[in-house]
Chain A
Amino acid sequence: MSARGTGARGAALFALRRGLHGLVVLWAAYTLSFLILSALPGDPVTIMLGAAGQAAGTPEQVAALRAEHGLDRPLALQYLVQLGGIVRGDLGTSYTSGQPVASLIAAAVPTTVELAVWTLLFALLGGGALALTASASRSPRLRGLLAALPGLGASLPTFFTGLVLLQVVAFRLRLIPALGAHGFAGVVLPALTLALPIGAIVAQVLFRALESAWDQQFITTYRAAGLSRPRLLLAHALPVAALPLLSIAGVLAGQLLGGAVVVETVFTRNGLGRLAQTAVANQDIPTVQGIVVLCAAVFVLVNLAADLLYPLVDARTRPAADPRARRTPLRRSRGRTAPQQPAVLQEARP
């Protein structure tokens, strides 16, 4: 019913709406972090003086610092000035190093991106392989064992697995130098460490999705049509099961960034996570805030990408110009919408 043209326009409108929504989330994330960091008790000037090694500054010093960082202005004004800065790409100046936060972050990003790329590769390959193997195996015992592994991976503290890997691979086996390695040798241990919890999530979500796909009736339909188990898995179960994975892309990105803090600290890599760790240790509010906003931006972008990809993969979420087809978004479905005939109406009969 919906002509091609309206479909394309619908998609563009959808993308625009999601993009605007992302901007609003980003602004709100900044506001939230501002509220947490600036409105909660704790005086940044005292912190700065403490960081400089002075137990208590003279009143003149305090006043000078306040003026320098604009902290003598009312909170609302500080908020607006900072927001204006962010829009122009200015994230403020680090309290401790005196450098612009934006350049601190820019210097740290490549290291973290390298870690993230390898981690995702390991996690998707490992987690995907685990889920598929578990789902394909016919022995209940093997399935149970494989299905329990992700839970194990997600329960191990990242710093613990990182240190154990470092201890065994670098110090015991001396396969890789503990510190200062470059290229793949330098990133493989941290990436493996971080891939463990991320891969566990991938495996868990994919396995659950595969299992629920297996339980759906269309599998019986195609079993009866004579398809083999591997074909059923790859041609019918996997396409359905891949969707939940796409929907947690944003969560995975967040987990990656959070995990990077610990992993980069353990392996002393000068990435974003390490920057965040030291910034918090020094109570360097502008840097912390800059990183938080950046993380929110990554989350928003990844989710935006997933939202835009989703309708391509799953037609059920396609925003249609045809109002009759528009029933998928289950959220915000309160209010006056037509009650669907309950599914149990006739299906509950034998």
Chain B
Amino acid sequence: MSTTAPSTAGSSQAVPSPAATASPAPASAAADGIPAAAVAADAHGSHTAPARLPPARWLSRLPRPSAGTLLAATVLVLALSWALAPSAFAPGNPLLGQPRERLQAPGLAHWFGTDHLGRDVYTRTVHGAAVSLGTTALAVLAAFDIGSAAGATAATAGGVAESLIMRTVDVAQSIPGLLLSMAVVTALGFGPVAIALAVAASSAPAFARIAHGEVLRWRSSLFVEAARLNGVGAVRTVVRHVLPHAAGPVLALAAVEFGTAILAVSALSFLGYWAPPPQPEWGLLVSEGRDYLASAWWLTALPGLAIAAVALSVNHLARRIGAQRRPA
């Protein structure tokens, strides 16, 4: 209730956005991911987008970042640094173990302890960042490209093409995401690229749905109608008036999907579909530690914590982006 605008502003109460008051769509319409749906529903509603300002003023408009946001940003920066320059943070060899130092608990010598072959778990975690994050990025990029292209095409083309694309999206979303990914892995075989494409396959439908909805939504806006009356051609109208508006929510979804994809990639590699094994991927590290669960908790807990921290940070920032786009 605290979000209610002062009633003097009037407009926020008197003119609820149709989406907010309309009955929720029937069950099958809400088949996309929850965070995605939430962002999509909230990301728009106001026609008055903030105007483009010089960078300094634009920055000053942002609310002061909270402690949580700063922490999340720090975690992400650290994870990215690990991915880009692992040796700067962990100079050792992630694949080479010292048999005499096997299964050592975390300490000063080995921050995250050592595994059954005497390999330093911290070094392996740092060196795993590149493949884990890289695979995730590949997955999101592929899903973004394929999904939003398909959705925008469907909305623009209409007719049979639209039905075909959007019904395919419906169907793809009727299969649980992880199982759809597993089916793709079964077909493509194991490995980072297969996992990336598998995760992309499960998140592309959400992009398609949002892109489709956004393009349709803005295409029916009055300023697009005005553009038609101004003699502007169909293609030019889409480029000038539709895509700039539709891009925002789709990008916001990309942020949300990145958090989901990190979890999906690590889950697939945890399930044993990562090849080749010696490469230190985060989910794989957790999986390898399972055999020592009773005696060496750090093998599962610390790499797992790395995944959780990154996923949490991404989700937190994605939510902030979503909240930023929402009318105040």
Contact = CB atoms under 8 A, between A and B. Distances in A.
Direct contact of A and B (CB under 8 A): yes
Nearest to A283: B186
A262 B312 contact: no
Given A285-B186, A292-B179, A343-B18, A166 B293 contact: yes
Contact of B28 (A157, A178, A214, A250): A250
24 contacts: A33-B183, A42-B187, A155-B263, A155-B308, A156-B308, A157-B283, A163-B290, A163-B301, A167-B300, A215-B4, A248-B30, A250-B174, A254-B175, A258-B177, A262-B267, A277-B271, A279-B186, A296-B171, A296-B174, A302-B27, A310-B27, A314-B24, A330-B22, A334-B216
Interface stretch (B9-17, B82-90, B98-106, B120-128): B9-17
Interface in B293-328: 293-294, 297, 300-301, 304-305, 307-308, 311-312, 315-316, 319
Interface in A191-235: 201, 204-205, 208, 211-212, 214-217, 219
A330 B30 CA distance: 13
B34 A251 contact: yes
Contact of A292 (B21, B26, B180): B180
Contacts of A251: 30-34
Interface stretch (A24-32, A78-86, A111-119): A24-32
Interface string B260-272: 0001001100111
A215 B12 CA distance: 10
Interface stretch (A1-9, A180-188, A239-247): A239-247
Interface size class of B (residues with CB under 8 A): 35 or more
B68 to A, nearest CB: 8
Nearest to B305: A160
Nearest to B14: A347
Given A29-B174, A157-B267, A343-B15, A167 B183 contact: no
Contacts of B263: 155, 157-158
A214 B1 CA distance: 6
Given A157-B267, A164-B304, A217-B13, A25 B170 contact: yes
A303 interface: yes
B311 A157 contact: yes
A350 interface: yes
A276 B267 CA distance: 14
A166 B24 CA distance: 39
Contacts of A41: 187-188
Contacts of A316: 23
Majority secondary structure, B binding face? helix
A198 to B, nearest CB: 11
B35 to A, nearest CB: 8
B129 interface: no
Contacts of A42: 186-189
B11 A348 contact: yes
A140 to B, nearest CB: 6
A317 to B, nearest CB: 6
Contacts of A350: 10
Contacts of A16: none
B174 A37 contact: no
Given A157-B308, A330-B25, 11 more contacts: A37-B186, A154-B35, A154-B315, A155-B259, A160-B300, A171-B293, A171-B294, A205-B38, A247-B25, A295-B176, A302-B27
A328 interface: yes
A32 B168 contact: yes
